[in-house]
Amino acid sequence: MARKIFKRSGLRRDKNFGDLLDPVVSLNNLLGAVVTGEGLTFISEDLNCIRNIFSEGIEPEGYQQFIGSSVKRTTLNGTTVPVEPSITYQNRLDYYETNSGEPRLNGGNGLTAKYFNSDQVDSSNPNIFVGVSTLGTIPNDNFWEDGNFEWIGKFNSQSAGPGGGIEWEGYYVPTETATMKFHCDSSISFTMEFEKEGYTAGDPDIYVNHANVNTGITTVGIGSTSGSAVGNLNDNEGTLVLDVEDTKRVGVGMTVTGIGISDGSNGEHVLVSVVDKLRNIIRLENPDGSSPVLEDSVGIGYTVTFARNAGDVVDTNFYTHILEAYRPYRIRFRTYIDPSINPFGVEKVTEFNITRPSNTQGGKGDIRFTDLYDINYDFSDAAKGFINVFDDNSILAGGGDIGSTTDSNEYVKVKTSKKVDVTYSPKTSHTAIIRREVNGTWTANTNIIIISDTSNIEVGNYIFGSGLTANINTPLRVKEIAINNYIVTETNANSSASSTQLTVVDHRGFVKRVTGGGTNNITFTAGDTTDLESNMVAIWNGKSDAYVGITTNGNSTEIAISTTQTVGAGTTMYFYQSKGLVDKSLNYYCNVTNQAGRQVECIKVTQSAAAGSNQLTVEDTKNIGNQWKIFGAPFASGTFITTPPNTTTIPLDTPTIAGIASGAVFTAIQNNIQDDRSICCPPTDTSPPFNPTLSGLETPSGQKDLKLDGGNIKIGALIIVGAATSTVATSDKSDATVDIDCGGTTFKILAKS
């Protein structure tokens, strides 16, 4: 009888690898004949990158979370319908990423986590982690989540043992302007550091150490160089007042022993119940409720010992200085096992939390990684997206600059279908512009000014004070106000000051402040005439007239005032605009703001001149010279100035083609400028093409035709001959007419004789 023998083969039927126990060898044999176009073969290890991957489906409960989340629109009849085509979640995420860019508000990636082995820990060193480990290097990551950690064994799977520690460093970005309170609860040693107030980039001294709580024993000598303290009995609660270095070394839950400290009846040591770093106060409590202080006082020369065991959770906290919303601040937290502690079996628990002012309950909340940014995060303007740039260039409630005066690409264009209604009344008195005179305290290189009473201070107001800026007459501007607490300014203070008087002035129409004095002609002893223009309003304490206009003459330290008055030497003078809507969008193009090196000058005529004049009398020739070009309706194209003989006379190489009235303004530019910049000096005489007279406008003899291109009526000639006569005697009636001859057709306009 014939017998069939079935043999078990390998992964391929044409080969028998039943004797191969290793599936990798079998797979390599299978792949051996698979050759790429480059002559390369595959092996099993080439598939390692996709091993152990799997797909994960969404349960029905997960799909239900999407119900009602589609993007909708409202039709013309008021019906809400889904947008077609549908906008997917991927579409929307891509759109947000493209428009917001980096850095995004509340979009942090977590602090940079650095891991250290036990041979790098030195608790006596301020930096804690020192040297290079002989036990191997552990790569950094952003391990943070919500700031709550519990390690059963190692800090990191690549750590050489259960000892060592972690350092988190990077930036914290608050979402509100306020003081923040950070907390740490830990069963092992820890430190908490935050950027010092007034820190500037490049300063190697970055942090203030707010907490340095170790395991083991901390001894404080009362009254010694390391600290001074007074203990007293107060409602069964002992109070120790320590110096700041000692309070940062103590956490709530540590035991307290020493002369004058009374242990409980059951032998338990007194515990720390409160650590108040603001007042450097340590409060004590006895577990059995008895008085923690044996005597009425713990005197100088006594020694108090604070202690804790590894694995015992203690906590402490600290307050930051006032932080500005959406500004990054450096932060560094550490947690570690002290080298003197056996790390095996020690429960390693650390929790970092925060109390925000917006939390009305005052409780601790998690610090999410989205509030934290790694140490190399790019906060530069170049990394910002559209939303951030838009927010940076937004105008504050108190007004402000619109974009850049030197880069047209940054200029913000504002369009509206409604008219611009600007209501502005020029200031008339010193009391009208001074909002407050109040004391404030601030720190150098910060923009927070502590003011206990912020009444009458508005966003946008200007603040003057000694130390705010390098120049006493240069102000800071209010950006934000925390009522009766502090104000935030747009830029940082120049130096620190305490309880220093500040003067807050109204920002509406404000131009600048100087110091000076004189009679009629005011000479500045501090400040200059930059940004000052004729017809602005001058205000100082003691002026006699409501409105005092000024006249500038090109002098950098002198102006004239419009009324006869004497201003005492050293008087502080404020200058305001005389009109509400001031357009300075052409200043950079026209180069009329610099005192020297101007290319454009606005010249004012002080004496009327008829058509055909070769010379003009002006207020000031300023810095114009030979062959400067002149623009304006009274001048023929290509009119140049010859060398001015004095400061009030301008000779022209071509006679004027129309009359020019006293007070008229025209434009003069250097001859090396090719384009017409007549728009830089808007004319005050709106008469062209008519001749100006004191009684009104006179039609030039060569321009009697009146053509209305924008209308249907075109008048070839307007003829008014003689005086009309009336045949009606009564004064309220008239049959007098004015004849208008239009190409042979006479039109009659009813007129009163």
Spatial neighbors of 80 by CB under 8 A, at least 6 apart, are 72, 73, 74
Distance between CA atoms of residues 456 and 440, nearest Å: 15
For the ranges 43-52, 184-193, 486-495, 635-644, which has the lowest average pLDDT?
43-52
**pLDDT band for position 341 (cuts 50, 70, 90):** confident
Which pairing describes strands 497-505 and 510-519: parallel, antiparallel, or unpaired? unpaired
Give me the pLDDT at residue 288, please.
Answer: 81
Residue 474, pLDDT score: 93
Q: What Cα–Cα distance (Å) separates residue 211 from each residue in 172, 316, 326, 634, 733?
A: 17, 7, 25, 78, 97
Residue 335 CA to residue 320 CA, distance in Å, equals 20
- 575 CB neighbour count, 10 Å cutoff: 24
The amino acid at residue 648 is T
DSSP assigned state of 447: -
Render pLDDT for 649-690 as a digit per residue (tens, 0 to 9). Answer: 999 999 999 888 888 888 888 877 777 777 777 766 555 566
pLDDT of residue 97: 54
Helix (H) or strand (E) segment spanning residue 192: strand 189-195
> Does residue 5 register a pLDDT over 50?
no
Residues 467-480, mean pLDDT to the nearest whole number: 92
Q: What is the pLDDT of residue 422?
A: 64
Average pLDDT of 537-546?
A: 91
**Could you tell me which of 260, 258, 287, 259 has the C-alpha nearest to residue 271?**
287
Tokens of 238: 């002992």
Cα four-point dihedral sign 446, 451, 454, 457 = negative
Q: Which helix (H) or strand (E) holds 707?
A: strand 706-707
Q: What value does the mean pLDDT take over residues 346-363?
A: 82
pLDDT at 229: 45
- Decide if pLDDT at 335 tops 90: yes
From 520, 519, 552, select the one nearest 533 (Cα to Cα).
552
Least confident of 39-43, 44-48, 212-216: 39-43
pLDDT digits 0-9 by tens, 726-750:
444 455 666 777 777 666 677 777 7
Q: What is the DSSP letter of 263?
A: P
208-222, 229-243, 573-587 — which is least confidently predicted? 229-243
Is a pLDDT exceeding 90 seen at residue 558? yes
Token pair, residue 638, equals 């290509």
Helix intervals (H) in 543-667: 587-590
Q: What is the CA radius of gyration of the chain?
A: 41
Mean pLDDT of 10-22: 54
The first and second tokens of residue 707, run together, are 């053509």
Percent of the chain with pLDDT over 90: 29
User: Which among 623, 573, 635 is positioned nearest to 594, based on CA atoms?
Assistant: 623
- The pLDDT assigned to 22 comes to 67
Assess whether pLDDT exceeds 50 at residue 495: yes
The Cβ of residue 412 has, within 10 Å, a number of other Cβ atoms equal to: 12
For residue 49, the SS3 value is helix
Could you tell me the two tokens for 416?
């509206």
Respond yes or no on whether the N-terminal peptide bond of residue 103 is cis (omega within 30° of 0).
yes
* Long-range contact pairs involving 94-102 (C-beta distance under 8 Å, separation at least 24): 98/385, 99/385, 99/386, 99/387, 100/385, 100/386, 100/387, 100/388, 101/383, 101/384, 101/385, 101/386, 101/387, 101/388, 102/378, 102/383, 102/384, 102/385
Q: Give the integer Cα–Cα distance in Å for 451 and 468.
A: 14
Tell me the Ramachandran region of residue 202: left when phi exceeds 0, alpha when psi lies from -120 to 50, beta otherwise.
left
d(CA 169, CA 332): 4
pLDDT digits (tens, 9 = 90+) for 591-634: 654 445 567 888 889 899 989 999 999 988 888 888 899 888 88
Angstrom distance (rounded) from CA 399 to CA 460: 6
* pLDDT over 70 (residue 545): yes
pLDDT-above-70 percentage for the chain: 72
Q: 4 CB contacts (<8 Å, ≥6 apart)?
A: none
Look at residue 81 and tell me whether its pLDDT is greater than 70.
yes
> Do residues 740 and 749 lie in contact, with contact meaning Cβ atoms separated by under 8 Å?
yes
| β-bridge partners, 185 | 315, 351
pLDDT, tens digit (0-9, with 9 covering 90-100), for 294-323 = 555 555 556 788 888 888 999 999 999 999
Amino acid identity at 163: G
Q: Which residues have CB under 8 Å from 106's CB, separation 6+?
A: 173, 175, 370, 371
Per DSSP, what are the bridge partners of residue 114?
167
* pLDDT for res 263: 81
Q: Is 558 exposed, middle or buried, given 0-12, 13-18 or 19+ CB atoms closer than 10 A? A: middle
pLDDT of residue 406: 54
pLDDT tens digit sequence for 499-529: 999 999 999 889 999 999 999 999 999 999 9
For 368, residues 6+ apart whose C-beta sits below 8 A from its C-beta are 146, 147
- Say how far apart CA 303 and CA 280 lie, in whole Å: 17
Q: Which residue has the tokens 């500004």?
A: 327
For residue 230, pLDDT beyond 50:
no
d(CA 622, CA 534): 14
Tokens of 634: 């009274």
Q: Give the pLDDT band of residue 104 (cuts 50, 70, 90).
A: low
Which of 544, 578, 570, 449 has its CA nearest to residue 503? Answer: 449
Looking at residue 193, what is its pLDDT? 96
Burial label, 361 (beta-carbon count in 10 A; 0-12, 13-18, 19+): exposed
Dihedral sign, CA of 322, 327, 330, 336?
positive
113 vs 363, higher pLDDT: 113
Give the number of C-alpha atoms closer than 13 A to the C-alpha of residue 383, restricted to the C-beta side: 8
Length of the chain: 753
Return the closest-CA partner of residue 398 out of 460, 480, 478.
460
Give the position of tokens 């930059």. 530
Res 464 pLDDT > 90: yes
What average pLDDT does the chain have?
Answer: 79
Q: Which of 262-266, 405-409, 567-571, 588-592 has the lowest mean pLDDT?
A: 405-409
pLDDT on residue 594: 44
- Exposure string (b/e) for 20-44, b if CB count within 10 Å is 16 or more? eeeeeebbbbbbeeeeeeeeeebeb
Least confident of 216-230, 537-551, 681-695: 216-230
